[in-house]
Amino acid sequence: MDITRFKSKGFFIPGLISLVLLILLATLPLSLGGYTVVLVTTILMYAILTVSWVLFSGPSGYMSLASAAFFGVGIYIGALLLPNTGQVLPLLVVVVLGGLASSIVALGVGALTLRLRGIYFAIFTFGLVVLILEVLNWWEHTVSHIRGRFVMVVDNETIFYVMLAIFVATMLTFFFLRRSKFGLALQSIGQNEEAAAHSGVNVTMVKVLTFALSAFFVGAAGVVWATRLTYIDPYIAFNFFLSFLPVLMAIFGGIGQIYGPVVGAAIFAYLQETLQTEFPEVYMLTFGIVLVVVILYLPNGIVGLIPKLWRRISGGQHANT
């Protein structure tokens, strides 16, 4: 590849920074252990969910609340194939199978519901979480006669590196998809779906395939998270809160830039971990206040502050000269 062309497109500096950050993350368990590795793993998990949500909902304009469903499917695949009684398949194989299972669910749901728009699609995708939860709950109590499942214990470093690999794959997919013809087609759907259809875009196919692709990474992360939880039941796996957190994290960080969802997920996850540990009584209240402030005063998210601050600094420098 021509390095001059690469630089001219503005990829070189962001790519170099990303590579340095990736190397620092990869060496994290060697320099810092214990709690820090667990915390960063949690941040990576939320970043995967948030970037996956933005991958589909950002350009298309469709508000999906199915993240908890896809994540829960991945968790259950992990529980079934990685029981504490003995490993059925290698971890990486199960991660891929969890992602594929979530993608298959998303394909079916997308084919049925992506003709709906607005609040109807959002309600249906959230209803999917409730439906799968209640069906699994009925199955386990009535057919399997079990209350929960114990998952194979995996060391924190292995969980960290597998989650990091899924995060890198998610970011690369996000980066290249947005710059592909497929990504442009998805953006045109978000801007004007009727015009996109009249211009020759297969609207249904583009929406369904992107929806399934975004679900793959969520399901893969769910498998890894199951080994972190070590015990799961339907209510743990299909946590309603995880349908809304990716949306809030994306808005908090800013959907407009590729790094916005990651920044939002990192800050939000750290705040959640700190507040739940040190201030459990006011944890939800503080979350609510932060969100209201961001929505009212930072419509473009945290990363939207950067251009504003740069313009003020540049304007101040020009004024002084």
* pLDDT in the model for residue 2: 44
Q: How far apart are the first and last CA of the chain?
A: 41
pLDDT tens-digit map of 121-145:
888 889 999 999 999 999 888 888 8
Q: How is residue 303 annotated by DSSP?
A: G
Least Cα distance to 263 among 295, 301, 293 occurs for 301
The Cα angle at residue 63 between residues 98 and 244, in degrees rounded to 5: 65
Query: Rounded mean pLDDT of the chain?
Result: 83
pLDDT, average across residues 176-187: 87
Report whether pLDDT(78) > 90: yes
Tokens representing 94 are 């199960």
- Distances in Å between the alpha carbon of 246 and those of 8, 70, 231? 33, 13, 23
Alpha helices in the chain (DSSP H): 3-8, 12-26, 28-31, 35-60, 67-81, 91-113, 119-139, 156-178, 181-191, 193-198, 203-229, 234-237, 241-253, 260-278, 283-297, 305-320
CATH code reported for the domain at 32-320? 1.10.3470
- Residue 54: band (very low, low, confident or very high) from pLDDT cuts 50, 70, 90: very high
d(CA 240, CA 30): 35
d(CA 284, CA 272): 9
Q: How is residue 116 annotated by DSSP?
A: -
Helix (H, G, I), strand (E, B) or coil at 64: coil
Report the percent of the chain where pLDDT is more than 70. Answer: 87
Domain ranges of the chain: 32-320
* pLDDT in the model for residue 316: 54
Q: Is residue 3 exposed (0-12), middle (13-18) or buried (19+ Cβ within 10 Å)?
A: exposed
Contact yes or no for 67/59 (Cβ under 8 A): no
- Residue 120: band (very low, low, confident or very high) from pLDDT cuts 50, 70, 90: confident
- pTM over 0.85? The answer is yes
* Strand (E) or helix (H) holding 231: strand 231-232
For 120, what's the count of Cα atoms within 13 Å in the CB-facing half-sphere? 7
- Residue 14: band (very low, low, confident or very high) from pLDDT cuts 50, 70, 90: low
* pLDDT in the model for residue 6: 44
